[in-house]
A and B are shown apart, each in its own frame.
Chain A
């Protein structure tokens, strides 16, 4: 018995060591960004880990008017993210509810169309999207970004549909017998029961504009004022700017990452429930 116990203890210690090493590896880039953001010495290629002089200079510089004006990018991204988040989440929930709970003639054909559309590489069409926006006279605007990000959102209905599928049908049938319309069933029964998937949808659609780089770069070209942080920060690391802007890049990365990380960690539970509840059972 003691033999098994010591063996178990040794395995556990080995696991702890392994986990610690892995955590260090996983946190390494993040810690490095944070350290660099406080580094007074400029330059990208620094061969030491800890800054020689600590300062808030990089953070302060971010708020000085410059061609690379971070606060504006941050505000842009926030506006785009909030609007996209509202529109996309609505679209996703609407489409997935329709496909999951309602029965209509075009349901299967439409689902097949979505399946096929999903197999095309998403930004194969970005050039055409650009010209459509140009025809609508909307290139280089934030509205264009919002429309592009939320426009195709309805296609990502699978996970939410999988979740809706698991809500027992007899609940809405009972409500229907009591005379509720489909609209009432949707708002009063399904939505209140679907908190995990709603939070999941909101979270993913809020994060999408923070991460996307391709569409912004196609749509905004060089209109620095309407950049989102992803594109702006990427530009900071252009070869010619890299040495001047690297530490500032790190500082802005920290500012971007803090709110998103906080949001993500506080909502992690719903994220897991969303992914496992939806994708897996669906």
Chain B
């Protein structure tokens, strides 16, 4: 506690001070505290915080155990990612050679990251144990009673409640988001692809080669990247704004005074949200197929002689996707905008009416600015969401029509679906990882804009009256 407050005072040297903490404790500590440097929890244990001391000690035992049986096996190989994939060993009994798996780059990389995490958390725990030992020493020197284990538990439900709340979710996020993400980011700097698939073959660090290849190195890959990126941006723009404006229009006409059965109309549209997308999108794909419902009808009515290949020509497929996406997205906008419309003060419209404003003018001057102001963050998250909109593309065209000019991509592939097919069909993890990082960079630019545009984040504190 005392050390914590000291570090906070000089915020400029926060990190430096944090590093200094153990030294300070060592300088000021007595024998029990100093012994805690070797045996974690010793200081606490001596000062009658038995359970706490024991837990720290057990953590140390566990860590040593992990070092011997886990960390030492993988971490030292991180630099080379393994050298011997498979060793042939002569089996005396069977009189044959058998293959023994020695190194596996994938596991070395993954477990090294896990090891680094373990070491990091152990360091944090170690410093905490030192602080605890020192605080226990100070308290007993001042004749104060040390927190019992029961007190510690109680504080977890009160002034340390945030620890209680955040621990489990954080473990989930670390295990299933952060750890895999770091792994995949590192893959971008290796040559992990179908020619270097462990365990039979190992992969290796290649530095920035993959980025170079994607951006300008290889004509085919970089031209594919350029085209896919362009289409991704076009798609995200149109998908976002068509849905936004059409949804707003729909909400406004349903909400218009004098329109009856408002709830009915709304429910009819909103119902489509509840039907799983793979069901409706796959059905729609079927309806528009070459020998599907629409084409057959149009042929029967003699409007066309040959089936329109809705999903087989690049631009037609792209336009179809944007149109069909409206079917998916409009209900969401409708939901949100109708909620907001009800909040607009009616008096604004009354006074505008007295001034003789036309409905269009009222929309431009009152409704739109109001709705836009509240939905600006939503709009930007939608945009970023559409850059990553996997479902619509995958269910409708799966990226097709395939084109020979593209590097394992189709003409409607977004970066994200391209990434998917590179990993799942082609085992080209290195390029996929680089694409993932590119998507991250693009999304973060837009998110940063969103973050700065929405004052709500800045005004967060005043909002909580």
User: Chain B residues near A275 (CB, 8 Å)?
Assistant: 335-336, 339
- Say yes or no: A45-B168 contact (C-beta < 8 A), given A26-B269, A272-B339: no
User: Chain B residues near A214 (CB, 8 Å)?
Assistant: 390, 420
Interface string of A32-59 (1 = CB under 8 A from B): 1100000000001111010000000000
Q: How far is the CA of A120 from the CA of B178 in the complex (A)?
A: 10
Query: Which residue of the partner chain A has the closest CB to B171?
Result: A151
Within 8 Å by CB of A279, from B181, B296, B378, B419, lies B378
Segment of B86-94, B128-136, B201-209, B253-261 in the binding face: B253-261
Is A117 on the interface with B (CB-CB < 8 A)? yes
Interface string of A116-137 (1 = CB under 8 A from B): 1111111111111101100100
Q: How far is the CA of A253 from the CA of B275 in the complex (A)?
A: 9
Tell whether, in the assembled complex, residue A260 and residue B274 are in contact, meaning their CB atoms are under 8 Å apart.
yes
Output the residue of A16, A127, A155, A253 with the most chain B CB within 10 A: A127
Is A18 on the interface with B (CB-CB < 8 A)? yes
Within 8 Å by CB of B424, from A120, A218, A230, A281, lies A218
Is A75 on the interface with B (CB-CB < 8 A)? no
Query: Which residue of the partner chain B has the closest CB to A135?
Result: B110
User: Chain A residues near B300 (CB, 8 Å)?
Assistant: 47
Tell whether, in the assembled complex, residue A15 and residue B339 are in contact, meaning their CB atoms are under 8 Å apart.
no
Q: How far is the CA of A100 from the CA of B456 in the complex (A)?
A: 13
Tell whether, in the assembled complex, residue B388 and residue A122 are in contact, meaning their CB atoms are under 8 Å apart.
yes
User: Chain A residues near B405 (CB, 8 Å)?
Assistant: none
User: Chain B residues near A170 (CB, 8 Å)?
Assistant: 465
Tell whether, in the assembled complex, residue B274 and residue A263 are in contact, meaning their CB atoms are under 8 Å apart.
yes
Tell whether, in the assembled complex, residue A120 and residue B378 are in contact, meaning their CB atoms are under 8 Å apart.
no
Interface size on B, residues (CB 8 A): 100
Output the residue of B154, B175, B381 with the most chain A CB within 10 A: B175
Tell whether, in the assembled complex, residue A127 and residue B327 are in contact, meaning their CB atoms are under 8 Å apart.
no
For chain B, residues 145 to 185, give those with C-beta under 8 angstroms from any C-beta of chain A: 154, 157-159, 161-162, 164-166, 168-170, 172-173, 175-181, 183-184
Tell whether, in the assembled complex, residue B378 and residue A280 are in contact, meaning their CB atoms are under 8 Å apart.
yes
- Say yes or no: A117-B178 contact (C-beta < 8 A), given A29-B287, A233-B279: yes
User: Chain B residues near A118 (CB, 8 Å)?
Assistant: 447
Within 8 Å by CB of B444, from A119, A122, A260, lies A119
A5 to chain B, nearest CB (A): 10
Q: How far is the CA of A45 from the CA of B343 in the complex (A)?
A: 47
Q: How far is the CA of A118 from the CA of B450 in the complex (A)?
A: 13
Is B12 on the interface with A (CB-CB < 8 A)? no
Tell whether, in the assembled complex, residue B279 and residue A257 are in contact, meaning their CB atoms are under 8 Å apart.
yes
What is the total of A-B residue contacts with beta carbons within 8 Å?
Answer: 271
User: Chain B residues near A253 (CB, 8 Å)?
Assistant: 275-276, 279, 283
For chain A, residues 4 to 33, give those with C-beta under 8 angstroms from any C-beta of chain B: 8, 12, 15-16, 18-19, 22-23, 25-30, 32-33
For chain B, residues 409 to 461, give those with C-beta under 8 angstroms from any C-beta of chain A: 415-416, 419-420, 423-424, 429, 432-433, 436, 439-440, 443-444, 447, 451, 456, 460
Within 8 Å by CB of B278, from A104, A233, A272, lies A233
For chain A, residues 213 to 265, give those with C-beta under 8 angstroms from any C-beta of chain B: 213-214, 217-218, 229-230, 233-234, 237, 246, 249-250, 253, 256-257, 260-261, 263-265
User: Chain B residues near A98 (CB, 8 Å)?
Assistant: 161-162, 165-166
Tell whether, in the assembled complex, residue B276 and residue A260 are in contact, meaning their CB atoms are under 8 Å apart.
yes
Q: How far is the CA of A186 from the CA of B156 in the complex (A)?
A: 13
User: Chain A residues near B270 (CB, 8 Å)?
Assistant: 264-265, 268
Is A192 on the interface with B (CB-CB < 8 A)? no
Tell whether, in the assembled complex, residue A119 and residue B275 are in contact, meaning their CB atoms are under 8 Å apart.
no
Output the residue of A25, A118, A120 with the most chain B CB within 10 A: A120
For chain B, residues 258 to 287, give those with C-beta under 8 angstroms from any C-beta of chain A: 258-259, 265, 267-280, 282-284, 286-287
Q: Give the interface SS of chain A, mostly helix, strand, loop or mixed.
A: helix
Is B319 on the interface with A (CB-CB < 8 A)? no
Q: How far is the CA of A280 from the CA of B275 in the complex (A)?
A: 25
Q: How far is the CA of A222 from the CA of B300 in the complex (A)?
A: 42
Is B464 on the interface with A (CB-CB < 8 A)? yes
Is B293 on the interface with A (CB-CB < 8 A)? yes
Tell whether, in the assembled complex, residue A121 and residue B388 are in contact, meaning their CB atoms are under 8 Å apart.
yes
Is A183 on the interface with B (CB-CB < 8 A)? yes
Tell whether, in the assembled complex, residue A94 and residue B166 are in contact, meaning their CB atoms are under 8 Å apart.
yes
User: Chain A residues near B172 (CB, 8 Å)?
Assistant: 91, 147, 150-154
Is B322 on the interface with A (CB-CB < 8 A)? no
User: Chain B residues near A16 (CB, 8 Å)?
Assistant: 259
For chain A, residues 172 to 220, give those with C-beta under 8 angstroms from any C-beta of chain B: 181-183, 186, 207, 210-211, 213-214, 217-218
Given contacts A237-B282, A257-B275, 13 further A-B contacts (CB under 8 A): A12-B259, A119-B440, A121-B443, A124-B433, A125-B177, A125-B184, A152-B177, A165-B464, A181-B157, A183-B157, A233-B282, A257-B279, A261-B275
Cβ-closest 6 pairs across A and B: A154-B169, A151-B176, A125-B180, A128-B180, A276-B339, A47-B296
Residues of A at the B interface (CB closer than 8 Å) are 8, 12, 15-16, 18-19, 22-23, 25-30, 32-33, 44-47, 49, 91, 94-95, 97-98, 100, 102, 104-105, 107, 110, 115-129, 131-132, 135, 147-148, 150-155, 165-166, 168-170, 181-183, 186, 207, 210-211, 213-214, 217-218, 229-230, 233-234, 237, 246, 249-250, 253, 256-257, 260-261, 263-265, 268, 271-273, 275-276, 279-282
